[in-house]
Structure 1
Amino acid sequence: MLYRRKTYTVEPVMYETFTHFFHTYLLPNQLTHGAQLVGRWVNEERTEIMAMWAYDNRAHYETVDASIRASEMHAEAQNYRKSLAPLFISSNEDFFTSTGNYGQSPQIVAVSGYIVNEEGHVLLVRNNHRNDTYEMPGGRLELGESLKEAVKRELLEETGIHAEIGDMTGVYQNITSGVICMVFRGRAVSGVPAAQPPETIDVQFVDFDIAQVGDWVKRPQFASRVDDARNSDTIAYESYEVRPYRLIERS
């Protein structure tokens, strides 16, 4: 892996504005084109912000960077910056390679929910950083919470929906990014589906049959999760790679 450290020197009064810009433009554009965010930090004085990004290698970074600079979102971001006071005083970037994992697991645990309403319609979201497809809502597990608690939290954060969570329907391993996602069935109990910026840009209950899944869920690794949750009484397992997508194992 290649790691890129990007550091910004900012005026403290511009910290919130910079953070909004980061979450609205920088982060979604990086994720859309294949970068991974390792973390983002700010010092106590809020005068220095540091983000660490991960790429497969130097060639992957150069491809991601070129795609971002050619994107519509990048053009929108630059136009929006013209309406603001200077976001930062100066910036710097440098590159690193890892000297080892030192016992820390590189795997990430995530959850997702197949949530239906009283009519049996399925809750789908379109994320800012994956706006080419709809998918089931979900996200990373946080320290100290159970899997089902994480599903409930992610649902509320992404859609505004409260739900009861039932059985697990599948386990899905993204070999490329190290993400292991567990999917659960659930039932919406309250709330009105609504986009929750900057994370989601569209949220709705969708009525479709099995033949129409691909009309909404464009990425195969997400479509199979919907199919499994709809049709199986057992727990599915699937492992795959992305960039490009390749199914490795399924049972």
Structure 2
Amino acid sequence: MIYRRKMYRVSPRILEDFNLHFNKTLLPTQLKYGSRLVGRWMTNETNGEVDVFAIWEYDSYEEYERIEASVRSDEAHMKRVQDWYGKWGGRENLKEHFYKIDQDFINNTVTDC
């Protein structure tokens, strides 16, 4: 089992719409292709920024790659994503609302009891 942590530091101005976009567009497509969401959280606003992060579970790194390839080749999904970018003036303009986007893979340290 591997876990992916996807992290965003965003402007509060975009937060509500970003959360809606996640729930209506991003999450359903990820689930469709086999991603398993452990959870998604956000911090309280600090200095005009909010951290949003999700933990995803996969059986292997190869499974993650297969799912991501399927998501990226889903034309209807990619159109919905592009339409959302367009709503905010295009992907380039989102840089003024998304201060940082990052991901890493994390390991579970809890042993079975």
Q: Same fold (TM over 0.5)?
A: yes
Gap change, CA 1:61 and 1:13, over 3 Å in 2: same
SS of the residue 1:89 aligns to: strand
Q: What is the CA distance between 1:54 and its match in structure 2?
A: 0.7
Is the helix fraction higher in 1 or 2?
2
How far apart in 2 are the matches of 1:101 and 1:82? 46
Equivalent residue, structure 2, for 1:149: none
Unaligned runs of at least 5 residues, structure 2: none
Note if contact 1:29-1:74 (Cα within 8 Å) is conserved in structure 2: no
Alignment TM-score, normalising by the size of structure 1: 0.39
The Cα shift of 1:99 comes to 2.3
Counterpart for residue 70 of structure 1: 73
| Mean CA deviation greater in 23-32 or 94-103 | 94-103
SS in 1 for 2:44: coil
* 1:102 CA drift (Å): 5.5
Q: Which residue of 2 aligns with 1:57?
A: 60
- Post-superposition Cα deviations, 1:146-205, rounded to whole Å, max 9, x if no partner, equal xxxxxxxxxxxxxxxxxxxxxxxxxxxxxxxxxxxxxxxxxxxxxxxxxxxxxxxxxxxx
Q: Number of aligned pairs?
A: 103
User: Normalization by structure 2: what TM-score?
Assistant: 0.82
More strand by share: 1
Alignment equivalent of 1:81, drawn from 81, 85, 106:
85
Flag structure 1 segments of 5+ consecutive residues without an equivalent: 104-251
* Aligned-residue offset at 1:67: 0.3
| Correspondence list, 1:84-99, <5 A | 84=88, 86=94, 88-99=98-109
In structure 2, the partner of 1:32 is 32
Q: Which has the higher contact order (CA 8 A, sep 6+)?
A: 2
The Cα RMSD (Å) is 1.7
**Ranges of 4+ aligned residues in structure 1 off by more than 6 Å:** none
CA offsets per residue over residues 61-108 of structure 1, 9 Å max, x none? 0000000001121232122221125252220000012223555xxxxx
Q: Equivalents in 1 of 2:41, 2:69: separation in Å? A: 25
- The alignment partner of 2:102 has SS state of strand
The answer (yes or no) to whether the contact 1:2–1:57 under 8 Å persists in 2 is yes
SS of the residue corresponding to residue 87 of structure 2 reads coil
